[in-house]
Chains A and B, each alone.
Chain A
Amino acid sequence: MSITSSAAATATQPLAKARTGIAGLDEVTFGGLPAGRPTLVCGGPGCGKTLLATTFLVNGAVMFDEPGVFMSFEESSDDLIQNVASLDYELGDLVAQKKIAIDFVRVERSEIEESGEYDLEGLFVRLDFAIKSVGAKRVVLDTLEVLFAGLGDTQILRAEIRRLFAWLKQRGVTAIITAEQGSGALTRFGIEEYVSDCVMLLDNRVSNEITTRRLRVVKYRGSAHGTNEYPFLIDAQGVAVLPITSAGLAHSASDVVISSGIPGLNQMLGAGGFYTGTSILVSGTAGTGKTSLAAHFVESVCARGERCLYFAFEESPAQIIRNMRSIGLDLQPRIDAGLLRFEAARPSLFGLEMHLARMYREIEEFAPAATVLDPISALRGDTGDVHSMLLRVIDLLKSRGITAFLTNLLSVEGMDKSDAGMSSLMDTWLSLVQLESNGERNRGIYVLKSRGMNHSNQIREYQLTSQGVKLVDAYLGGSGVLTGSARVAQEMVDAASAIRRTEDNERKHRDIQRKRAALERQIAELRAELEAEEEDARKSQQQDEELEKRIQAERRAMAIQRGGTAT
């Protein structure tokens, strides 16, 4: 009765939570497991139940000053200590410091004969003793269902397990009970019936020959919780859950501009570079110099004295450094100065989620100002999965104000599906193109988009020189953008036609002069002709007048002869 009354009393208050200290899990559960109540963790074999539970206990003892009891039904204390030692958990030390008590309950059917009625009070006594010995606030029962294999009377068992859960609640310990997943049910023996507070399901799925661990909170009474399946990982640093899908769009926008490391490119971008904390995608076909562009950016970040994390998926760090020396960039001093860190891993080495988890951890640890992913196209998997993973990476980086520089290899045919899906995530998208003509390939760069700045619409030619990437002014003529020798040829053609034009002009000028001269000559001739005709006319008139005078004179002479007097 005291159990129900205490439960009713706590129900009115907001649910107290016990933090697990597992990166991500506390976010998914909005604060941790229900404090003072049992939580069921179920899953198939090898999906990390024991480890999750152990981490919960170790973190409790180390981080939150909550000692714990580990009651193992499967592994002996020594085995358990040894198994988790590979994960840097010094369980043995914690046991010696009385922060953790381990009790191995061995249940072997062949060693037990049943005769008449019994109960599991012995288990309660042991648990109680262990709890008292370290003052435990946390309890792990791993895997309780082993009892079903060891003891024959399931009726008694079920009644006793029910009693155990009630007892745990009454003791106010935060407990994790692990159970094997059954076919079609959460647990093989239906233990979920008795745990109503919080149930988590772990899963270990293989797809494309790559395994991904996932965690889902099936129910959490009295609390909101993330309902998705969250990938989690187990590696040398323990367990981490990645709840990054929950990221909202509340990143603060920065006005700080960071140079791309290439003066010409900075000019193309209205702001003179990239805004910090944004995401930049450089896409291009093979051999367009994506990594070179990335290296310039890295150098620019390091030159500001900021840290840069470089995830290389296709080349080893040594190879990248050597190759970048050929374009006059030496990144080695930056590495030595602790400003640059390379993290190289084959994409096929682990699943996408594992990559994500690794990045998450590296980013948390190194706290870079900028991160390069080179190239994202190397990440294999379902397009949707890749997209979702990149989304989470970018969200993760944005939420921390880290500038993301991603390269993407395009197939020669053009845009990939993943590329189209990525575009909306990107703030700046630089496209590198191969301009192919006249038997040569030239490299062109253009800004496909750049949010929040006025940017050039030109395709600019660039060259990979021994002094780095250099942008060349592209030839902009009537017949479009010309690059390489075509540009040079066109420039020559232009010069020639200019000469021709001046020659034409001069010739026309001469022609006109010649014409003018000819016409003037004609005019002179006509004038001379006219003058000659006028002269002729004048002369004949004179002759006519003289003739008239002679006729008159002759007539007078005749009249005198005839009449004697003149009339």
Chain B
Amino acid sequence: MSQMTNTAIEESPLPGGHYNLRLYVAGQTPKSITALANLKNICEEHLVGRYQIEVIDLLEHPQLAAGDQILAVPTLVRRLPEPLKRIIGNLSNMERVLVGLDLRPVVHHE
């Protein structure tokens, strides 16, 4: 698990929105590896410099599963900006991920 929490950012979101993302996985399965790779690609493309990814392996921290209502893995949780969003799957469908993260409409408005 690579945890990169930054409370300072959570308190004062950057202009244009700072993205605090959490990816829940259960072990290093092909699905979770694919999901992380897909997530990184999307973020690099759409959220350069204003995102933070936290990967949580539920096999190591099972107690965290209930808190974020994790059911399926992999699950991507957008903790910031609010509201909380959940995207399940290996994130192979980029279109759906962007919709889930509210990135598409934002792009259109700008």
Contacts and interface: CB of A to CB of B under 8 A. Distances in A.
A365 interface: no
A126 B92 contact: no
Is the interface on chain B under 10, 10 to 19, 20 to 34, or 35 or more residues?
A: 20 to 34
Given A125-B62, A129-B65, A113 B71 contact: no
Residue of A103, A120, A122 contacting most chain B CB atoms (<10 Å):
A122
Contacts of A106: 69
B100 interface: yes
A79 interface: no
A121 B25 CA distance: 9
A118 B34 CA distance: 11
Contacts of A115: 87-94, 96-97, 100
A88 interface: no
A115 B85 CA distance: 13
Interface stretch (B5-13, B14-22, B43-51, B72-80): B72-80
Nearest to B84: A111
A123 B72 CA distance: 7
Nearest to B92: A116
A111 B86 CA distance: 6
Given A116-B35, A129-B62, A122 B75 contact: yes
Contacts, number: 98
Contacts of A150: 71
B65 A126 contact: yes
Interface string B28-72: 000100110010000000000000000000110011011001111
A112 B87 CA distance: 6
A118 B89 contact: yes
Contacts of A147: 71
Given A105-B71, A113-B100, A115-B97, A122 B65 contact: yes
Contacts of A120: 71-73
A113 B42 CA distance: 16
B31 to A, nearest CB: 6
Given A125-B26, A125-B58, A129-B65, A116 B71 contact: no
A119 B96 CA distance: 18
A119 B73 contact: yes
A35 interface: no
A161 B14 CA distance: 43
A128 B63 CA distance: 10
B35 to A, nearest CB: 7
A116 B72 CA distance: 12
A532 B71 CA distance: 154
Contact of A118 (B38, B69, B90, B94): B90
A129 B88 contact: no
B99 interface: yes
Interface string A81-103: 00000000000000000000001
A87 B66 CA distance: 27
B24 to A, nearest CB: 7
Contacts of A129: 62-63, 65-66
Contacts of B92: 115-117
A111 B26 CA distance: 21
27 contacts: A103-B66, A111-B85, A112-B87, A113-B86, A113-B99, A113-B100, A114-B88, A115-B100, A116-B35, A116-B89, A118-B31, A118-B73, A118-B74, A118-B89, A119-B31, A119-B72, A121-B26, A122-B24, A122-B71, A122-B72, A122-B73, A123-B72, A125-B62, A125-B73, A126-B65, A129-B66, A147-B71
Q: Which 10 A-B pairs have the closest CB atoms?
A: A113-B100, A116-B92, A116-B89, A129-B62, A116-B90, A122-B70, A115-B96, A121-B26, A118-B72, A115-B93
Given A115-B87, A122-B65, A125-B70, 6 more contacts: A115-B89, A115-B92, A115-B93, A116-B91, A122-B24, A147-B71
Interface of B: 24, 26, 31, 34-35, 38, 58-59, 62-63, 65-66, 69-75, 84-94, 96-97, 99-100
Interface of A: 103, 105-107, 111-126, 128-129, 147, 150-151
